[in-house]
Every structure is written in C-alpha cells, then in structure tokens.
Amino acid sequence: MSLSEKLRLGVNIDHVATVRNARGGDTPDPLRAAKLAEEAGADGITAHLREDRRHISDADIDRLMDALNVPLNFEMAATDEMQAIAMRHKPHAVCIVPEKREERTTEGGLEVAREENRLAHFIAPLREAGCRVSIFIAADKRQIDAAHRIGAQVIELHSGAYCDAHHEGRFDDRDRELEAMREMSRYAHSLGLEVHVGHGLTYDTVKPVAAFAEVRELNIGHFIIGEAIFIGLKPAMAEMRRLMDEARGELQAAS
C-alpha cells in the first residue's frame, strides 16, 4: 500500500441510537447522522447490530442499506441470526466482533484461533455473497494468522486498550499497546490483509494510529458523536479528519 492512498474515516453512528433509545422514540435519528456524516466526507458508515439491540435496531439497518451512498460496515456477532440478516442485506463489509450481553462496550478482540473451523464456515457464505469480511481482533499474531487462514480479507485491530491506557495516564501501557498495534499492522499487511483500527479513538489518541503506514481505515464513533453534542457533527468529523491528515502528512514528509 502506498502512503498516498487516503486513510479512510468510517463513522460509527451506534451512539446516536443509544440516545434515541433512552426515550424510546424516533429521535435523534441515526440515519440522519449517517447522511450528515456522508455529506461531511465520511468514507463509510459503521453500525453494530447488537444481539440485545441496545442501540442500533433492525429497522435502522434496513434504512441505512436503503439510503446510504457510502459503504456500510455492518458489525455483528458470529451468530446464525446475524448471519441471516447480513445475507439478506449483503452490506459492503461485515465485521465480526465478539459480544457479551453484560459488557458495557466491546471489551476485547474475537477469539479466532480457538474457533477457526466454525468461523471459517461462518464467513464463507458472506464472502460468497460479495461482502468484505473483517475480523475485529486484538494485536495478537496468533489471531491474525487465524483470521488469515479462515479467509478474512480485512482485520480491524481493537484500539480500546491503547486509548484507555492513554486516558488513564498509564503511559507505559499505552506505548506498549501502540507498539503492538504498529508491529501487528505491519505483519497483517505482509500477509495481504487490509488493516483497519477502531474503538475508543479520540482527538488525543488518533494521530499515532493514523501514522501507521499499513492502516487503511479508522472506525470512530463514540467520541465523534459525543463531541457533536458540543460543536456539531460536521465540525467534529472535520477536526478528526484534520488530525488524521496531519499524521499522514507528517509520515509522508519523513519517508
């Protein structure tokens, strides 16, 4: 991959639905947020249909599929129910994520290595249907090798541990997490996998990750939606885009 290729920004609109669902009505509408994000230059929209439907609903996915002009990255657990939904919609990308009912947010990466056989069979029809299959994993060589073996085209590295360490002031841990993601981005890229990164990224944490030459896409939601409350969605996205471009520009200048 060349550095002149654009680093894509996928905007996750799950937490617009979280606010909507707090009152059970129709507002704020995640589709409206997605269309605004699209107008503001989002390269894709990410939505996670959780098994417990705590934020995005089935109807949201129907409406996103009908109305979006940019690719939808459909995040889902590896269950029969979700596979059937994905097969009905055939979104541009399907990102397989681990899910626990009791977790507040996606805590870790998918355990691919221990479930290789099941996951290989699970993703095969999705690939045949034309979806790009992405696997949400920790920066762990074993998991990357397994994702590669089962035929995934993309991996998304979970940046939550790096972001948490930064915001909690555990800078040694942060630097270790960052280094692991850097090394594993290179490794995954060398296997021919497309590399994405996401979870918990903020203005303070995005630049070092955006500077990984092998990374093609960042998926960012919670922070952008939170910031949008104060400054609006388009300015919040524009600032994220500016930081990503700045990191990329610095990398290009140094190479």
Ligand X SMILES: NCC(=O)COP(=O)(O)O
Binding site for ligand X (CB under 6 A): 12, 46, 156, 198-201, 219-223
Taking CB under 6 A as the rule, does residue 97 contact ligand DXP? yes
Nearest to residue 139, comparing CAs of 176, 164, 170?
Answer: 176
Taking CB under 6 A as the rule, does residue 159 contact ligand DXP? no
What are the structure tokens assigned to 243, written together? 């930081």
Residue among 221, 228, 244, 247 that touches ligand DXP (CB under 6 A):
221
Residue among 42, 110, 133, 136 that touches ligand DXP (CB under 6 A):
136
Catalytic residue among 75, 99, 217, 227: 75
Catalytic residue among 99, 156, 199, 227: 199
The residue among 68 and 110 lying less far from ligand DXP, judged by its C-beta, is: 110
Q: Which residues between 30 and 49 bind ligand DXP (CB under 6 A)? A: 48
The residue among 6 and 53 lying less far from ligand DXP, judged by its C-beta, is: 53
- 23 assigned to a ligand binding site: yes
Residue 220's binding partner among ligand DXP, ligand X, none (Cβ under 5 to 8 angstroms by kind) is ligand X
Contact 119, 96 (CB under 8 A): yes
Buried b (16+ CB within 10 A) or exposed e, 209-233: bbbbbbbbbbbbbbbbbebbeeeeb
The residue among 54 and 245 lying less far from ligand DXP, judged by its C-beta, is: 54
Number of C-beta neighbours around residue 22 at 10 A: 8
- 14 assigned to a ligand binding site: yes
Active-site residue flag, 75: yes
- 200 assigned to a ligand binding site: yes
Per-residue binding letters, 64-83, with ligand DXP (x by CB under 6 A)? -----------x--------
| Minimum distance, C-beta of residue 254 to ligand X, in the bound complex (Å) | 27
Residue 201's binding partner among ligand X, ligand DXP, none (Cβ under 5 to 8 angstroms by kind) is ligand X
Taking CB under 6 A as the rule, does residue 105 contact ligand DXP? yes
Active-site residue flag, 189: no
Active-site residue flag, 217: no
What are the structure tokens assigned to 154, written together? 């993309």
Amino acid at 117: N
**Residues near ligand DXP (CB under 6 A):** 12, 14, 48, 50, 75, 97, 105-106, 136, 198-199, 221
Task: Report the binding-site residues for 3-amino-2-oxopropyl phosphate.
Answer: 12, 23, 200, 221-222
Task: Report the binding-site residues.
Answer: 12, 14-15, 23, 50, 55, 105, 200, 221-222
